[in-house]
Amino acid sequence: MNNLPITDKFVSLYGDTEYRVYTSPGRINIIGEHTDYNGGFVLPGAVDKAMVAAIRFNGTDKINAYALDLNEQASFGLNEEDAPTQHWAKYIFGVIRELQKRGAVLNEGFDTVFAGDVPLGAGMSSSAALESTYAFAMNDMLALGFNKMELAKIGQATEHNYVGVKCGIMDQFASIHGKAGHLMRLDCKSGEFEYVSFDPAKYGYKVCLVDSCVKHELVGSPYNKRRESCERAVKAIQKLHPEVEFMRDAKLEWLEEVIGEITQEDYIRALYARQEVDRLLEACDAMEKGDYETAGRKMYGTHIGMSVLYEVSCEELDFVNEVAKECGVAGSRVMGGGFGGCTINIVKEDKYDNFVKTVQERYKEKFGLSCKIYPVVISDGARRLQ
């Protein structure tokens, strides 16, 4: 077995070498943002940055968890009233509780150490990676028999019920289902998906993230508010078109019909969500033909929608997006939930080095902060390592 920092720590904390090691990655998303909870499509891929955990059942009724990156320890029981106070421990606790709600029997607790290199708050789903690691591990170690989509839903329910973020399914889905060299085109309404081969190099492109290294979000609430706006718009449309379940189902004209029934704010949120559903489909068509320039233009369209209508961008990300445009980047937009984090950029190879250099210099000049560049490597999803 290979020694990892987490396994060394595991041995020094718990004096035991009979652990198993599991990992689950963060994700990127090419296009289709805030569409998952609107019943639309998403186009994510798992990345080469992941959470990794060593785990061993311990014959007690306690979970002893150690977050190596924070050097923090938490011990908690398996029942609802045993919830830990540390924010990070709630993800592990929530996953266990959600497994139990679905009939899993845990006769004992476990010892665990985890760490990861998914940047926190960068919109790359570090929390989904953590949830997926433990959901996948428990399913494997206890032979619970949940399928991958059920494991993703367990992670999502953890966010809803133990973290307070009413997220969609994209992040946990991608972390669990990821496949090297492939994106996943998921229909979030039906749950059907296909793996789409993703090889930008074949067409002369590179993909990178620019991490603004800022996070403006205040405890999930602005995210939940966006979702509530879309739900109110759906309710109004349903009065005239009862078949509409999600914004994805509504024709744009139907949204116009209820313009007097909903607030201006709810209208612009729902308008973005509905437009983004079509934008994804158009970008997918273009990419299938190797037409990254057209797909890239759609990404710029998403950025404008997320900035002006959905209002989940920020000054730093708008600036990075502007610089990308000036450098001739084919497609660029804020990625993930927003309010900070990364932009995702599809760049023609001959423009790549100049873009990376320029965006770093200009960002530093403007905000006195360094941004980080992550080249995107599409990798496998949740799995056992040792």
Residues with catalytic annotation?
A: 171
Which C-beta is closer to ligand GLA: that of 112 or that of 126? 126
As measured in angstroms, the least distance from the Cβ of 41 to ligand GLA is 11
As measured in angstroms, the least distance from the Cβ of 126 to ligand GLA is 10
Under the phi-then-psi rule, with left for phi > 0, alpha for psi from -120 to 50, and beta for the rest, what region is 382? beta
SS3 of the chain: helix, strand, coil, percent, to 5 = 45, 25, 30
Which C-beta is closer to ligand GLA: that of 6 or that of 299? 299
Nearest CA-CA partner of 110 in 22, 202, 227: 22
As measured in angstroms, the least distance from the Cβ of 187 to ligand GLA is 14
Q: What is the rounded CA–CA span in Å between residue 155 and residue 107?
A: 21
For residue 213, the cross-strand partners are none
Distance set, CA 217 to CA 123, 311, 314, 339, 372 (Å): 11, 12, 10, 5, 19
174 φ, ψ (degrees, to nearest 5): -65, -40
Which C-beta is closer to ligand GLA: that of 33 or that of 98? 33
Which C-beta is closer to ligand GLA: that of 6 or that of 167? 167
Which element (helix H / strand E) includes 301? helix 292-304
Parallel/antiparallel/unpaired status of strands 110-116 and 182-187: unpaired
As measured in angstroms, the least distance from the Cβ of 170 to ligand GLA is 4
Please check whether residue 172 is in contact with residue 51, taking contact to mean a CB–CB distance below 8 angstroms.
no
As measured in angstroms, the least distance from the Cβ of 49 to ligand GLA is 15
| Pair of tokens at residue 332 | 């660029």
Which C-beta is closer to ligand GLA: that of 36 or that of 111? 36
As measured in angstroms, the least distance from the Cβ of 42 to ligand GLA is 7
Q: What angle do CA 191, 277, 334 make, to 5 degrees?
A: 105
Q: What is the rounded CA–CA span in Å between residue 336 and residue 302?
A: 11
Please check whether residue 2 is in contact with residue 386, taking contact to mean a CB–CB distance below 8 angstroms.
yes
As measured in angstroms, the least distance from the Cβ of 27 to ligand GLA is 8
CA 18 to chain centre: 32
CA 353 to chain centre: 27
Q: What is the rounded CA–CA span in Å between residue 160 and residue 77?
A: 20
CB atoms within 10 A of CB 146: 19
Interface ranges with ligand GLA (CB under 6 A):
33-34, 36-37, 125, 167-168, 170-171, 336-337
Which C-beta is closer to ligand GLA: that of 171 or that of 249? 171
Which C-beta is closer to ligand GLA: that of 33 or that of 111? 33
